Structure 1
Amino acid sequence: MPTTDGRVLALDLGTSSARALVLSADDAAPVPGALARHRISPTYGAGGSATLDLHAYVEGLLGCLDELQQNGHLVDITAIVLSTQWHSIVALGTKGEPLTPVITWADTRSVDPVLGKDFDEHAYHARTGAWLHRLYWPRRIPWLRKEVAATAFAGLPDLVLERLTGERVTSVSVASGTGSLDLATGRYDEEALAIAGASAGELPAIVPTGWTAALSAEYARRWPGLVGVPIHPPTGDGAASNVGTGGYDETTAAVTVGTSAAVRVVHPIDNAPELPWELWRYRVDDERAVTGMAFSAAGNLHAWLTSVLKLDKDQQEPTGVEIGSSHVVAIPFHAGTRPPATVPSASGVYFGLSFDDTGADLLAASLQGASLEIDRGLRMLDSLFGRELEVVLGGGGIDASAWWRRCLTATFARPTTVCAEAEVGARGAAAVALGLSPEPGGESLKPVPEEAARVAELRPRYEKLRALAVEASAI
């Protein structure tokens, strides 16, 4: 049953920031002023490394709790929930000590897997929802064993949970993001473990959604208001964002646009539709999965272009350019593509440039290209679930650009609803833990017929030019 008394402390473990905020327990709405943030700066290095300092990260997060405590916000807390980045990994020694920094999803280091002749990658993908890609643990663990004498492995949320409770465990949601989970059983996949060269005992134990723990004794004096408060298992940020945006069942696709973008549908794990090769699937909790597609270029594309073109604040919306305008077409492969596609980074292309084009034309083409990429994923999900899905929009990119909201709505050629809440990850983690069903609460948009018609006319040309860009990326 939903919990409606008290307040919820949400910890959001992002790649660019760690945040702690307080939410109301009845609708998971943020309590005004009850937010503390610790900025995170990933370290990028030669050879494709992209890491986080584990000690600095955890201490920064604990400092956020100190700030909330000092400002009187850690009172009447009845639950602690976590939303977290997926895919991170840390190699651990014999005493559980970290031997490496946090290896993030953006790190490109791994080794090629050693596979038997009877390996069926399509069956593997159908079972785990993942591919044998460097993003996932079956290719990370063999590489880490070559680098350090590791005896165990854990993700960032697992180690944060251990720091707070003394128990190193993980959730079915976080475990699914390792690419090592049998989605149907909720246990580590035997073939994935064999490819990784690891045993289930070397990975964090998977606890059920209803599991809770309490804050360890060392923090009782530091945060007395949290003593005895149940701490719930973490939810992967993609699943949490979907639920927090308002896309929590199979009738609705949630499109989130932040640094990157994704389109996803939450649905029951039982009798789930057969997973297409192009889509991934992770778990939300014991009963639900989330199926979708992610895109590497979104808000980062907008930030890069406005910086390169030195656009003033009032020029960062291409308001004078028609949605669906086709004289400039952008293929947004600047950061490459996510698996299973293999387009590398530095593959972005602009077609049709002339001396008449302005910064606004380039910006509009970029946002239109990103919208068409997201639309590809949405159409696959429509087909998978056998209906034209309702769409909710959320994330910083959605909030920042009215033009982009209209462009997405026209590209999808269907009404959309905008999520009014910015903290969708924290909101979703609270909803999963407490059994809530949040509504988007924002404006409703309808496609402008003329704009939708122009995008429909543009789409075949875009697809042809996209195919050329894919071909060129292999040269």
Structure 2
Amino acid sequence: MSDFRVPLAEALDPLVLALDVGSTASRGGLYDAAGRPVLQHRHKVPHQFTTGTDGTSTIDPDQVVDEVEEIVTTLARSELKGRIAGVSLDTFASSLVGVGADGRAVTPCFTYADSRCAAQVNALRAELDEQEVRWRTGTRLHSSYLPARFRWLRETAPSTFASVERWMSLGEYVYQRILGTTAVGTSTAAWTGLLDRRTGQWDAGMLEVSGVAVEQLSEVRDPDRPLEAESRWKALRGARWFPVITDGLASNLGAGADNPATVAAAAATSGAMRVLVSDLPDELPPGLWCYRVDATRSLLGGALNDVGRAASWLEANVRLDGVDVGALLAAEPDPSTPTVLPYFSGERSTGWAADARALLADVSAGTTASMLYRGTMEGVALSYARVAAQLQQVAGQTQQILASGRVTQDLPTWLQVLADALGAPVVPVTIKRSTLHGTALLALDTLAPGVERRPVDVGPTYEPVPSRAQYYTDRAARYEQLYRSVVAGS
């Protein structure tokens, strides 16, 4: 396999400093005009969400500001002055920070996985026509979106809610702190559940039910409208700072899924299946969302809260001493494997049950730790298959499924489970940090439109095994039976 990276001496200008704030770390790297990562020019600062059994999932926004500043200081060295033409930033989607009059956070950063507003989701569903909301915004009413979160804050912390002068995503807050100005990228705005996907502007009706004024939100900017802002880093003098985008859009672009014929299957802490389309679909299956990402394109797909998070839970809580999980996932399926609904932090696609929790079913005295591990990761794959079935209704039969993300590299044989569950070939993207790569590519569309980009490296295709088709058909039917009885019926 070729080395996707390039030494600094061979890098094509202009360079981009790309930043990614994910669920487990903040990362940064330099990329050249061909979209290649520059060797020995990357930096990572690990972090973790604060979580609780009540559905809490938060992170300190000022901690993230410090992390980004450390990354920029490490990478934007003075000898690079004049070479770095832009800075781009993506973060995990559906984040929220309340900011006071002094420009400092008065709330933690609430993440997409914080499900404490589940009761407010139910109240909104009783008040609003969810189909009409979804047609306007492209999103369901759910705990990962902001209308219910705003209502929850108003009801449970009214004094804090009243003290907020501006509401920002985490990336906007980072920019505000380090640049003194900010804006929200179209994709980041779309992931809030507050954007009119037809106009690209804030939706007045959703702002009203949220109790938020449009003046409390940032200007919405498409990716080709960078901020003109100076920073304290000499190497970034004259660099343009691009509006904050979501990791979902960046992940698609970075994996090479930048056209309607290619589906991206992202598998990190959370996961998704997404396709970038050039039109605005009027009909949306109930399990999917459709986010406007710029003036001409939308991202259609479904998201899963628990992919790498499910694997991490298994590693922390299930005794796997001596178990070769790679071989376990590559083995022939066993009908005695437990059926698992992997909703460790609630469900997004396809049922949008915010207060759903994981279900371990068909467990007997003979069930082993290995069988529980295999059953959980089969459950994750079946969750992707549920999204894929609805995606096909709108996007049709796609030509390629590209898989990327930490789980695909840490557990490559799980991709065989995914291919078998989907009944379709899966191509692994083997470059690391595909999300960071996509963030750089989007900035390069503006900074270096005439430079040919280097294609991503991929590995051998995982083909579905025909003899396993019936097993996964039966397993999917059992999954749906349990879902209807336990999750949908709750």
Q: Structure 1 stretch 245-254 or stretch 132-141: which is displaced more?
A: 132-141
Q: Give the drift of 1:384.
A: 1.1
2:402 aligned with 1:392, yes or no? yes
Would the aligned equivalents of 1:37 and 1:64 in 2 still touch at CA under 8 Å? yes
Aligned partners of 2:424 and 2:67: how far apart in 1? 43
- Corresponding residue SS for 2:141: coil
Q: Which residue of 2 aligns with 1:430?
A: 440
2:138 aligned with 1:129, yes or no? yes
Q: TM-score, normalised by structure 1?
A: 0.89
Q: Which residue of 1 aligns with 2:3?
A: none
Residues 359 and 17 of structure 1: CA distance in aligned 2, closer, same or farther (over 3 Å)? same
Would the aligned equivalents of 1:74 and 1:225 in 2 still touch at CA under 8 Å? yes
From 234, 246, 250, the counterpart of 1:224: 234
Q: Give the drift of 1:312.
A: 4.3
From 224, 230, 251, the counterpart of 1:241: 251
Q: Gapped runs of 5+ residues in structure 1? A: none
Q: Which residue of 1 aligns with 2:422?
A: 412
Q: TM-score, normalised by structure 2?
A: 0.87
Q: Give the drift of 1:345.
A: 4.3
Would the aligned equivalents of 1:417 and 1:440 in 2 still touch at CA under 8 Å? no
Residues 454 and 116 of structure 1: CA distance in aligned 2, closer, same or farther (over 3 Å)? closer
Would the aligned equivalents of 1:324 and 1:455 in 2 still touch at CA under 8 Å? no
Would the aligned equivalents of 2:87 and 2:241 in 1 still touch at CA under 8 Å? yes
Q: Structure 1 stretch 30-39 or stretch 185-194: which is displaced more?
A: 30-39
Identity across the alignment (%): 25
2:431 aligned with 1:421, yes or no? yes
Q: Give the drift of 1:263.
A: 0.7
Aligned partners of 2:225 and 2:410: how far apart in 1? 38
Q: Deviations over 1:209-228 (max 9, x none)?
A: 221224435x0xxx211101
Q: Which residue identity is paired with 2:129?
A: D
- Corresponding residue SS for 1:38: strand
Q: Give the drift of 1:163.
A: 2.6
Aligned partners of 2:75 and 2:104: how far apart in 1? 29
Residues 116 and 408 of structure 1: CA distance in aligned 2, closer, same or farther (over 3 Å)? closer
Q: Which residue of 1 aligns with 2:48?
A: 41
Q: Give the drift of 1:273.
A: 4.9
Residues 179 and 343 of structure 1: CA distance in aligned 2, closer, same or farther (over 3 Å)? closer
Task: Report the RMSD for the aligned CA atoms in angstroms.
Answer: 2.7
5 Å matches for 1:255-404? 255-268=265-278, 270-312=279-321, 315-319=324-328, 322-335=331-344, 336-338=346-348, 340-342=351-353, 344-351=355-362, 353=364, 355=366, 357-404=367-414
Residues 264 and 456 of structure 1: CA distance in aligned 2, closer, same or farther (over 3 Å)? farther
Q: Structure 1 stretch 142-151 or stretch 378-387: which is displaced more?
A: 142-151
Q: Deviations over 1:401-422 (max 9, x none)?
A: 2321222222223322211212
- Corresponding residue SS for 1:364: helix
Q: Which residue of 2 aligns with 1:6?
A: 14
Q: Deviations over 1:437-457 (max 9, x none)?
A: 664421131425xx3331334
Q: Give the drift of 1:389.
A: 4.2
Q: Which residue of 1 aligns with 2:186?
A: 172
Q: Which residue of 2 aligns with 1:22?
A: 30
- Corresponding residue SS for 1:402: coil
Would the aligned equivalents of 1:193 and 1:199 in 2 still touch at CA under 8 Å? yes
Q: Which residue of 2 aligns with 1:254?
A: 264
Q: Which residue identity is paired with 2:14?
A: G
Q: Which residue of 1 aligns with 2:73?
A: 66
Q: Which residue identity is paired with 1:138?
A: P
Aligned partners of 1:317 and 1:206: how far apart in 2? 44
Q: Which residue identity is paired with 2:420?
A: A
Residues 271 and 15 of structure 1: CA distance in aligned 2, closer, same or farther (over 3 Å)? closer
Residues 199 and 8 of structure 1: CA distance in aligned 2, closer, same or farther (over 3 Å)? same
Q: Gapped runs of 5+ residues in structure 2? A: 1-10
Residues 304 and 50 of structure 1: CA distance in aligned 2, closer, same or farther (over 3 Å)? closer
Would the aligned equivalents of 1:324 and 1:452 in 2 still touch at CA under 8 Å? no
Aligned partners of 2:384 and 2:256: how far apart in 1? 18
Would the aligned equivalents of 2:270 and 2:304 in 1 still touch at CA under 8 Å? yes
